């Protein structure tokens, strides 16, 4: 067994430990017998882990391997219940294992675990078959909620910020935690139904889940999948609570333009032009929208938004 006597040795030990811990488990939730390069896992474990009077080096390493995978799989199950409901448990577990094998946890917080899920699925959409478009809508929607829950916030814009600016020079932006999504399925209604079901059955489930491993769920009545419906939605928070709000097409267009830094006057003109066929009292409607957005704290100065990390 090699000893750690330098920073270089410590780095090598950490790398080797991570490689072994991040290796996917077998179907029966055990550590794999072989490493990725075909070596016996038992021999590799013995090269850097001491056995004790109760556990072999392999068994000690397996504890860490299993704990890691149980924790990260549980985190994905918690963060993406809508995707789980669309795919079903078996397909979701296969997807989760493939994703985590490609993108293991790389942050001190599990909040970031699903940050690369959308890009991963864009490259490997086969994991979502046969509901690729619906499932991708849900991934985007659920990740937006994670961003909204604890994303950075900026002070809302005040009258002093815009007092002396001419209309054609007035720029505003949106809170960095706010996401604007254009989706092809009513995933918001579907997720509400999922969470209502979870809340209503939580008390009964708690007494039955003490021995459940990742991938196992308590059977529940299946909820009808989200219908195809183009929706435009803002995912945000208010008073430290998570919300999502459907937007009118013109409202969505205007918010997108503002968030791109287009001056308010030009953004309003672009929205009116893009939706010229709509029966809208534009002055009254735009005033109402801005009043609502301001009350929710969405509007910030571009300078504040551009300084977001």
Q: What's the whole-number mean pLDDT along residues 33-53?
A: 93
pLDDT value, residue 211: 57
Q: pTM for the complete prediction? A: 0.86
Between residues 31 and 217, which one has the greater pLDDT? 31
- In the structure encoding, which two tokens stand for residue 40, read together? 């016996």
φ, ψ of residue 79 in degrees (nearest 5)? -80, -25
| Residue 220 pLDDT > 90 | no
The CA-atom distances, in angstroms, between 189 and each of 141, 185, 225 are 12, 9, 10
What residues does each domain of the chain span? Answer: 1-71, 80-150+187-225, 155-185+229-309
Residue pLDDT, tens place only, 52-62: 999 999 999 99
Looking from the CA of 24 toward its CB, the CA atoms found within 13 Å total 16
Residue pLDDT, tens place only, 134-156: 999 999 999 999 999 999 999 99
Between residues 205 and 261, which one has the greater pLDDT? 261
């Amino acid at each position: 067994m090699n000893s750690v006597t330098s920073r270089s040795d410590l780095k090598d030990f950490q790398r080797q430990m991570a490689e072994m811990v991040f290796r996917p488990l077998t179907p029966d939730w055990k550590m794999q017998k072989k490493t990725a390069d075909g070596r016996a896992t038992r021999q590799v474990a013995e090269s850097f882990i001491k056995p004790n009077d109760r556990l072999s080096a392999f068994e000690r390493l397996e504890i860490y391997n299993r704990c890691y995978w149980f924790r990260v799989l549980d985190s994905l199950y918690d963060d993406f219940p809508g995707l789980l409901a669309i795919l079903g448990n078996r397909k979701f577990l296969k997807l989760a294992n493939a994703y985590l094998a490609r993108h293991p946890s790389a942050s001190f917080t599990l909040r970031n675990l699903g940050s690369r899920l959308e890009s991963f699925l864009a490259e490997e959409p086969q994991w979502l078959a046969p509901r690729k478009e619906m499932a991708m809508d849900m991934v985007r929607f659920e990740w937006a909620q994670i961003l909204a829950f604890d994303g950075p916030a900026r002070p809302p814009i005040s009258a002093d910020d815009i007092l002396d600016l001419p209309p054609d020079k007035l720029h505003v932006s949106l809170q960095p935690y706010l996401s604007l999504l254009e989706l092809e399925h009513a995933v918001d209604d579907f997720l509400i139904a999922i969470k209502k079901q979870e809340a209503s059955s939580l008390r009964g489930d708690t007494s039955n889940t003490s021995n459940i491993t990742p991938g196992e769920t308590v059977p529940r009545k299946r909820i009808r999948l989200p219908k195809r419906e183009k929706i435009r939605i803002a995912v945000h928070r208010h008073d430290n609570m998570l919300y999502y709000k459907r937007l009118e097409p013109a409202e969505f267009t205007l918010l997108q333009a503002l968030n791109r830094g287009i001056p308010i006057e030009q953004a309003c003109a672009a929205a009116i032009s893009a939706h010229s066929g709509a029966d809208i009292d534009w002055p009254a409607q735009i005033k109402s929208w801005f009043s609502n957005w301001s009350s929710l704290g969405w509007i910030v100065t571009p300078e504040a938004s551009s300084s977001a990390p």
